[in-house]
Amino acid sequence: MAAALDRVGDRWALLLVEALLAGPRRYSDLQQDLPSIASNVLSERLRRLELAGVVETQRYSARPPRVEYSLTSAGRGLVAVIEALAGWGAEEGEPGAVHDRCGTAMDVRFYCPTCDELVVPGERTGDDDLVFA
- Is the pLDDT at 47 greater than 90, yes or no? yes
The answer to whether position 83 is within a domain reads: no
Q: What is the pLDDT of residue 96?
A: 66
Q: What is the pLDDT of residue 119?
A: 85
- Greater model confidence, 64 or 105: 64
Q: Which domain holds residue 22?
A: 2-76
Q: Are residues 68 and 28 in the same domain?
A: yes
Q: Look at strands 110-112 and 117-119 and give their pairing.
A: antiparallel
- Greater model confidence, 88 or 102: 102
- Which whole number is the average pLDDT over 99-107? 83
Local structure of 117: helix, strand or coil: strand
18: exposed, middle or buried (Cβ count in 10 Å: 0-12, 13-18, 19+)? middle
Please state, for a pLDDT cut of 90, what percent of the chain lies above it.
47
Q: Which of 93, 121, 120 is nearest to 105 (CA)?
A: 93
- Is the pLDDT at 3 greater than 50, yes or no? yes
Count of structural domains, the chain: 2
* CATH number reported for the structural domain that contains residue 63 in this entry: 1.10.10.10
Q: What is the pLDDT of residue 106?
A: 76
- Is the pLDDT at 69 greater than 90, yes or no? yes
Q: Enter the pTM of the model.
A: 0.73
The answer to whether position 44 is within a domain reads: yes
